[in-house]
Amino acid sequence: MPDDTHDPERRSWVPGADGHADFPIQNLPVGVFAPAGASRRAGIAIGDHVLDLAGLLAGGLLDGDARLAAEAASGETLNGFLALGPSPRRALRARLSALLTRDAAEERRVEPHLHEAGSVTMHMPARVGDYTDFYAGIHHATNVGKQFRPDSPLLPNYKYVPIGYHGRASSVGVSGAAIRRPNGQRKPASETVPSFGPSRNLDYELELGVWIGPGNELGEPIPIGGAARHIAGFCLLNDWSARDIQGWEYQPLGPFLAKSFATTISPWIVTPEALAPFRLAPSARPDGDPEPLPHLLDAADQTAGGLDIELEVLLLTPGLKETNRPAHRLALSSTRHLYWTVAQMVAHHASGGCNLQPGDLLGTGTISAPGPDGFGSLLETTNGGRKPVELPSGETRRFLEDGDEVILRGRARRDGFTPIGFGECRGTILPARPAA
């Protein structure tokens, strides 16, 4: 439930925080940063600044559960912090909100621990033990299914099982890291045998990332009604995808090298507490769809398990840069288009006994809106490359070219509350290594 940390009247003494598109005082996401020449540590985004949590601790500004939470966040990753669960996280949020509010008595003691965001380097917020990618964006699943099965795009399991696959954790990187175009086996329909070389159909996928909190013991499922306490936060996630490699390799076991070369996430973990005002009922299932099986059905989740986050994909090409044009919006979508809630994904994941661990990362799957202005991948936007996108620079794109930069943004807004955002998730394509 929203509390006084969400009060839209609350103002901060930090310059630029009030009215900041992503990080007003009502957000307070946590991440890992390094000041120039210094080691990694936990920080809080506030406006265009990053607040050093270790500095607050050393300065004696945190007590009780807030202190416990900051201590768990000390070190170079936030896995210990993610493991804590909601209560200490909430205490830290309340204390930070008080310290950063205009006219706070501690302002002069807090101020030395602020760094300008432009002067620090953001790092992976946690060590990702396992990464799982779902397929819960129903319009994406339908659009992709249509390319193979025009008459029955969704397979019969889709409305019963939150479909997913185990992704690769080692290649998850943080926004800003360059993406090397992968080499792989490609076999278009026009060729009789595959060849090895650079992917010709490199794509992005617009997804929401989910950070796992405490997790479960091996063999102990997480009941749907208790899933929320295992969700420690959210980020933007780009599941880079090499469609030509994927088309050749994916049967019968699913994606492998087409996905494992890179995944990019935004560096800030937006907490469930910050998103409390932006919960809503999941989108109603169309008439005739089955009710979720009992282990995926929970009254509270059906009332407020959905999320209202606007998601955006932008493309910045070499041609747009050369002609001083801004990044071009390719899609505007929303987490309202998820068929399964995040709690259902967590409960399903653990329902067979698989243990989730603090710092595990889930992707929701590509989140497309119903119409072409909201498609979350080029596979959909260009209809598999057959209908190229035209850009204001005169360039066209079937799929991504070298030098292209993909930018994801996310924003939550609701009448009566201060909008909050996720920051950016960016990645630029580098040419493939020579294919020996």
- DSSP per-residue letters across 298-316: -HHHHHH-EE-EEEEEEEE
245 — phi, psi (to 5°)? -65, -40
Q: Which stretch binds Ca ion (CB under 5 A): 23-31, 205-213, 371-379, 404-412?
A: 205-213
SS3 of 354, please? coil
Q: Which is nearer to Ca ion, 207 or 395 (CB)?
A: 207
Smallest distance from Ca ion to CB 420, Å: 25
Q: What does the chain come to in residues?
A: 436
Rounded to an integer, what distance in angstroms lies between the CA atom of residue 170 and that of residue 262?
A: 9
133 binds Ca ion (CB under 5 A): yes
Smallest distance from Ca ion to CB 166, Å: 12
Cβ neighbours, 10 Å, residue 205: 28
Say if residues 39 and 123 touch (Cβ distance below 8 Å). Answer: no
Site string for Ca ion, 238-267 (x = CB under 5 A): -x----------------------------
User: What's the token pair of residue 128?
Assistant: 């990702």
Q: List Cβ neighbours of 26 (8 Å cut-off, separation of 6 or more).
A: 5, 6, 7, 8, 10, 274, 417, 418, 420
SS3 of 72, please? helix
Rounded to an integer, what distance in angstroms lies between the CA atom of residue 273 and that of residue 29?
A: 10
Rounded to an integer, what distance in angstroms lies between the CA atom of residue 344 and that of residue 213?
A: 15
Rounded to an integer, what distance in angstroms lies between the CA atom of residue 191 and that of residue 238?
A: 30
Q: Which is nearer to Ca ion, 271 or 368 (CB)?
A: 368
Q: Which stretch binds Ca ion (CB under 5 A): 77-85, 143-151, 198-206, 407-415?
A: 198-206
Smallest distance from Ca ion to CB 208, Å: 11
Q: Which is nearer to Ca ion, 207 or 404 (CB)?
A: 207
Q: Which stretch binds Ca ion (CB under 5 A): 77-85, 166-174, 236-244, 319-327?
A: 236-244
Q: Which stretch binds Ca ion (CB under 5 A): 46-54, 148-156, 237-245, 400-408?
A: 237-245
Smallest distance from Ca ion to CB 334, Å: 17
Q: Which stretch binds Ca ion (CB under 5 A): 172-180, 184-192, 219-227, 231-239?
A: 231-239
Q: Which is nearer to Ca ion, 33 or 261 (CB)?
A: 261
Q: Which is nearer to Ca ion, 203 or 312 (CB)?
A: 203
Rounded to an integer, what distance in angstroms lies between the CA atom of residue 369 and that of residue 355?
A: 32
User: Is position 140 annotated as part of the catalytic site?
Assistant: yes
Catalytic residue among 49, 115, 140, 349: 140
Smallest distance from Ca ion to CB 366, Å: 5
Q: Which is nearer to Ca ion, 205 or 404 (CB)?
A: 205
Q: Which stretch binds Ca ion (CB under 5 A): 15-23, 203-211, 242-250, 278-286?
A: 203-211
Smallest distance from Ca ion to CB 154, Å: 16
Rounded to an integer, what distance in angstroms lies between the CA atom of residue 105 and that of residue 125?
A: 30
Omega prior to 252 cis, within 30 of 0: yes
Q: Which is nearer to Ca ion, 241 or 334 (CB)?
A: 241
Q: Which of residues 373-412 bind Ca ion (CB under 5 A)?
A: none
Smallest distance from Ca ion to CB 311, Å: 14
Smallest distance from Ca ion to CB 239, Å: 4
Rounded to an integer, what distance in angstroms lies between the CA atom of residue 355 and that of residue 215?
A: 7
Q: Which is nearer to Ca ion, 5 or 201 (CB)?
A: 201
Q: Which of residues 303-342 bind Ca ion (CB under 5 A)?
A: none
Contacts 24+ apart (CB under 8 A), 397-403: 397/315, 397/317, 398/201, 399/200, 399/201, 399/202, 399/203, 399/243, 400/202, 400/203, 400/204, 400/429, 401/317, 401/429, 402/181, 402/429, 402/430, 402/431, 403/317, 403/318, 403/428, 403/429
Number of residues that bind Ca ion (CB under 5 A): 3
Which strands form 41-46's sheet, in the order they lie side by side? 114-116, 49-52, 41-46, 30-35, 120-123
Smallest distance from Ca ion to CB 233, Å: 19
Q: Which is nearer to Ca ion, 243 or 328 (CB)?
A: 243
Say if residues 83 and 361 touch (Cβ distance below 8 Å). Answer: no
Which residue minimizes CB distance to Ca ion?
A: 239
Residues serving a catalytic function are 140
Site for Ca ion, rule CB under 5 A: 133, 205, 239
